[in-house]
C-alpha cells in the first residue's frame, strides 16, 4: 500500500519486527502500529493476534517489553500492537493527565466535541487498521484473536464481546472490567461520550457480559499485588460471568503487580491459548 510507511524493521526470531505508520480516516491523524511477522509468513498467510495496550502506552510498550515475539515465531502468529490514541493533536486538556486524552483513548468512539472528530479508537482498531494490515501483509484474514492489558484488556474484551464471530479467542492481563464504575474510565467516558451513562454502558465489559455473554472462553490473568485493583474491579467481571454463564478462566497470580514483568511472565501461556484457537 502506497499510503503505508515503514518506520523501522529488524530481524527477530527468524521473522521481522516492524513499526509502520499510515494516515487514518478514523482519527484524522497519522497513526503508528507495531507488527511482528513470524518466519512462517515467508511461505504462507498466517493468523494474527491483536494486542491492545494500556494507559500511557504507545505501540512500542508491548513490542519491547512483553517478549512475545519468540513465542509468536514458534506458533506462527503475527502480532499487531496499535497505538492507544490519536497523535499530533493539541486539543484542550488532551495532554494534561495520564488517564484521559493522549495515550488514553479507551477504545471507544467519542461522540462529544472536540473528541468526536478524532477519538474513534473502537472503529480504528476493530475495522480500519484491520483492513489496512490485511491489505499490506500475508495475513489469513479469517483467523484473528485479540488480547490486551489494563485499558487494552478492556478494549480486547469489548471488541470480542461486541463482535464474537470476528475473533477466534480472547484474553486479557489485568483488564479494566467495569469502565463505567472505574475512576479512570468514568472520567474519560464523561468527556468522550457525555453525561448519559447509557452510552457508557455500551462500552462496559461487565454490563455487556450480563446482557449478552459470548461463546468464547475468556482467559484472564490478574496479579493479586496489583496496586490498581480498585480501578480494575475484577470481582465485577467474575460476578457477571457467573451470573450470565459466560465461560471464564480467571487466574489470580500471587505476588504479581500491574507491570510488564507480570505480562512477560505469562505471555507464553496466552500465545499458546490463542494459537490453539487459531491453528
CATH number at residue 215: 3.40.50.1820
Report the alpha-carbon distance of residue 111 to residue 195 in Å, rounded. 11
Chain segment 8-63, per-residue pLDDT in tens = 999 999 999 999 999 999 999 999 999 999 999 999 999 999 999 999 999 999 99
Report the alpha-carbon distance of residue 212 to residue 111 in Å, rounded. 24
pLDDT band at residue 138 under the 50/70/90 scheme: confident
C-alpha distances in Å from residue 267, one per residue of 59, 105, 264? 17, 24, 5
Q: What string of H, E and C letters represents the secondary structure of the chain?
A: CCCCEEEEEEEECCEEEEEEEEECCCCCCEEEEEEEECHHHHCCCEEEEEEECCCCCCCHHHHHHCCCHHHHHHHCCEEEEECCCCCCCCCCCCCCCCCCECCECCCCECCCCCHHHCCEHHHHHHHHHHHHHHHHCCEEEEEEEEEEECHHHHHHHHHHHHCHHHCCCEEEECCCCCCCCCHHHHHHHHHHHCCCHHHHHCCCHHHHHHHCCCCCCEEEEEECCCCCHHHHCHHHHHHHHHHHCCCEEEEEECCCCCCHHHHHHHHHHHHHHHHHHHC
pLDDT band at residue 1 under the 50/70/90 scheme: very low
- What local confidence, expressed as pLDDT, does residue 279 receive? 85
What pTM was estimated for this model as a whole? 0.97
**Is 150 an active-site residue?**
yes
- What local confidence, expressed as pLDDT, does residue 189 receive? 98
Widest distance between CA atoms in the chain: 51
Q: Mean pLDDT for the chain?
A: 97
Q: What's the grid cell of residue 199?
A: 452510552
Q: Which of 204, 221, 226, 236 is catalytic?
A: 226
Confidence check: pLDDT of 208 > 80: yes
Report the alpha-carbon distance of residue 50 to residue 59 in Å, rounded. 11
Averaged pLDDT for residues 190-203? 97
pLDDT band at residue 174 under the 50/70/90 scheme: very high
Residue count of the chain: 279
Range of the domain at 224: 5-278
- What domain count does the chain have? 1
- Are residues 9 and 18 in contact, defined by beta-carbon separation less than 8 angstroms? yes
Averaged pLDDT for residues 124-145? 94
pLDDT band at residue 3 under the 50/70/90 scheme: confident
78-82: strand order across its sheet:
5-12, 15-23, 30-37, 78-82, 46-52, 139-148, 170-173, 218-223, 248-253
Q: What's the grid cell of residue 9?
A: 524493521
Q: Which of 103, 145, 150, 180 is catalytic?
A: 150
Q: Which of 118, 149, 216, 258 is catalytic?
A: 258
Amino acid at each position: 500500500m502506497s499510503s503505508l510507511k515503514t518506520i523501522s524493521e529488524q530481524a527477530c526470531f527468524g521473522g521481522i519486527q516492524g513499526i509502520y505508520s499510515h494516515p487514518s480516516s478514523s482519527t484524522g491523524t497519522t497513526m503508528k502500529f507495531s507488527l511482528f511477522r513470524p518466519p512462517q509468513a515467508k511461505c504462507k498467510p498466517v493468523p494474527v493476534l491483536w494486542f491492545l495496550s494500556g494507559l500511557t502506552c504507545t505501540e512500542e510498550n508491548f513490542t519491547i517489553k512483553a517478549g512475545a515475539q519468540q513465542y509468536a515465531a514458534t506458533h506462527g502468529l503475527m502480532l499487531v500492537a496499535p497505538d492507544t490514541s490519536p497523535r499530533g493533536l493539541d486539543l484542550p486538556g488532551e495532554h494534561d493527565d495520564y488517564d484521559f486524552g493522549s495515550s488514553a483513548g479507551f477504545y471507544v468512539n467519542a461522540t462529544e466535541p472536540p473528541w468526536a472528530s478524532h477519538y474513534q479508537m473502537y472503529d480504528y482498531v476493530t475495522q480500519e487498521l484491520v483492513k489496512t494490515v490485511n491489505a499490506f501483509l500475508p495475513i489469513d484474514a479469517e483467523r484473528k484473536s485479540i488480547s490486551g492489558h489494563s485499558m487494552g484488556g478492556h478494549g480486547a474484551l469489548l471488541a470480542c464481546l461486541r463482535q464474537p464471530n470476528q475473533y477466534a479467542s480472547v484474553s486479557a492481563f489485568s483488564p479494566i472490567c467495569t469502565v463505567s464504575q472505574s475512576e479512570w474510565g468514568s472520567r474519560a467516558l464523561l468527556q468522550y461520550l457525555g453525561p448519559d451513562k447509557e452510552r457508557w454502558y455500551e462500552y462496559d465489559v461487565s454490563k455487556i457480559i450480563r446482557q449478552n455473554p459470548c461463546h468464547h472462553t475468556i482467559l484472564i490473568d490478574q496479579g493479586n499485588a496489583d496496586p490498581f485493583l480498585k480501578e480494575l474491579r475484577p470481582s465485577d467481571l467474575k460476578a457477571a460471568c457467573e451470573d450470565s454463564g459466560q465461560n471464564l478462566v480467571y487466574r489470580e497470580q500471587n505476588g504479581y503487580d500491574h507491570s510488564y514483568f507480570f505480562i512477560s511472565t505469562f505471555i507464553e501461556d496466552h500465545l499458546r491459548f490463542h494459537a490453539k484457537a487459531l491453528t
